[in-house]
């Protein structure tokens, strides 16, 4: 009897409802379907996949081309010191200069000035480069001490006439006064001359036993005086900032 009473009591405790009945819950509204948003999401996924595929295809079709790292003046040439190689997407409509063509490119001249950072195309170079109106090019052969260390194409220099103490200084007074009237010593010939060519040397720290060939572009009215001073080895160049 006691066992039955305990069982009945236990059954009585477990019979109490632990949660409210289903009838007490509020009805939930049915979900509204939006087929337009679903279609837009699918479209965006497809566009993204297509764009990624195109990027992969373009990345796999690249070529190594020439890039200018230092300004190249009109009439100047490329060298190992003013170009580097970069990878670009291949495009048959753009005449890139491929890196494998660098040796042939060094033999050509820049038709116009090419600034640093440009990836040049074949149309920028030619066998000859013209001289701008009102300008002239003068070739110099300079000894050590007549030009600054590290002189390179594209630099702006001032050209001075310098006296030769061991040469013309022993001439007669009449000849001395004549040379003085024609220009004198330590006088400015060209204030803003553009270096268009400098022969490359193996090392700037080594003094070469031969003269350094340099080509300057100056105003036409300065060319004669500069050429005369150059023929007498009386020219010194000073590196200046371009205006």
The residue assigned the tokens 């700037």 is 204
Structure tokens at 239: 């590196």
Q: CA-CA distances (angstroms) from residue 207 to 35, 120, 200, 236?
A: 81, 34, 13, 16
Tell me what pLDDT residue 42 has: 82
Domain check: are 118 and 200 in the same one?
no
Q: Is residue 18 part of a domain?
A: no
Distance of CA 142 to the CA centre of its chain: 30
Q: 17 phi and psi, to 5 degrees?
A: -70, 130
Mean pLDDT of residues grouped by 10 in the chain (243 residues)? 52 53 60 73 84 66 91 84 91 89 89 86 78 81 89 88 57 39 67 83 53 88 91 91 73
Tell me what pLDDT residue 68 has: 94
Domain boundary among 76, 102, 126: 126
CATH of the domain at 116: 3.90.1210.10
Report d(CA 153, CA 196) in Å as an integer: 5
Nearest to 141 by CA among 73, 231, 222, 79: 231
Q: How many domains does the chain have?
A: 2
Q: Is residue 203 part of a domain?
A: yes
Domain boundary among 80, 97, 126: 126
Q: Is residue 52 part of a domain?
A: no
DSSP per-residue string spanning 100-113: GGHHHHTTSEESS-
Domain check: are 119 and 139 in the same one?
no
Q: Is residue 89 part of a domain?
A: yes
Report d(CA 154, CA 79) in Å as an integer: 13
DSSP per-residue string spanning 99-153: GGGHHHHTTSEESS-B-TT---BGGGEES--PPPTTEEEEEEEE-TTSS-TT--T
Domain boundary among 100, 126, 152: 126
Domain check: are 101 and 170 in the same one?
no
Report d(CA 102, CA 99) in Å as an integer: 5
Q: Which domain holds residue 107?
A: 62-126
Domain check: are 224 and 204 in the same one?
yes
Q: Is residue 24 part of a domain?
A: no
Q: Is residue 39 part of a domain?
A: no
Structure tokens at 57: 């295809």
Report d(CA 60, CA 57) in Å as an integer: 5
Tell me what pLDDT residue 28 has: 66
Q: Is residue 2 part of a domain?
A: no
79-137 pLDDT per residue, tens: 999 999 999 988 888 899 999 999 999 988 887 778 889 999 988 888 766 666 788 88
- Check: CB of residue 91 under 8 Å from CB of residue 67: no
Report d(CA 5, CA 23) in Å as an integer: 34
Report d(CA 149, CA 215) in Å as an integer: 16
């Amino acid at each position: 009897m006691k066992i039955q009473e305990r069982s009945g009591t236990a059954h009585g405790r477990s019979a109490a409802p632990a949660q409210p009945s289903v009838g007490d819950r509020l009805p939930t509204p049915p979900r509204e379907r939006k087929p337009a948003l679903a279609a837009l999401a699918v479209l965006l996924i497809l566009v993204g996949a297509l764009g990624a595929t195109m990027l992969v295809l373009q990345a796999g079709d690249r070529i190594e081309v020439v890039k200018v790292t230092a300004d190249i003046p009109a009439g100047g040439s490329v060298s190992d010191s003013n170009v580097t190689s970069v990878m670009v997407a291949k495009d048959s409509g753009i005449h890139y200069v491929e890196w494998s063509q660098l040796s042939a490119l060094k033999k050509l001249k820049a038709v116009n000035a090419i600034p640093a950072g440009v990836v040049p195309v074949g149309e920028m170079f030619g066998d000859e480069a013209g001289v701008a109106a009102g300008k002239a090019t003068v070739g110099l052969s300079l000894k050590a001490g007549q030009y600054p260390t590290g002189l390179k194409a594209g630099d702006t220099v001032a050209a001075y006439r310098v006296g030769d103490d061991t040469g013309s200084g022993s001439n007669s007074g009449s000849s001395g006064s004549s040379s003085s009237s024609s220009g004198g010593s330590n006088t400015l010939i060209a204030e803003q001359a553009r270096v268009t060519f400098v022969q490359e040397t193996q090392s700037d720290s080594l003094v070469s036993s031969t003269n350094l060939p340099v080509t300057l572009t100056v105003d036409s009215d300065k060319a004669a005086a500069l050429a005369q001073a150059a023929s007498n080895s009386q020219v010194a160049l000073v590196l200046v900032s371009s205006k």
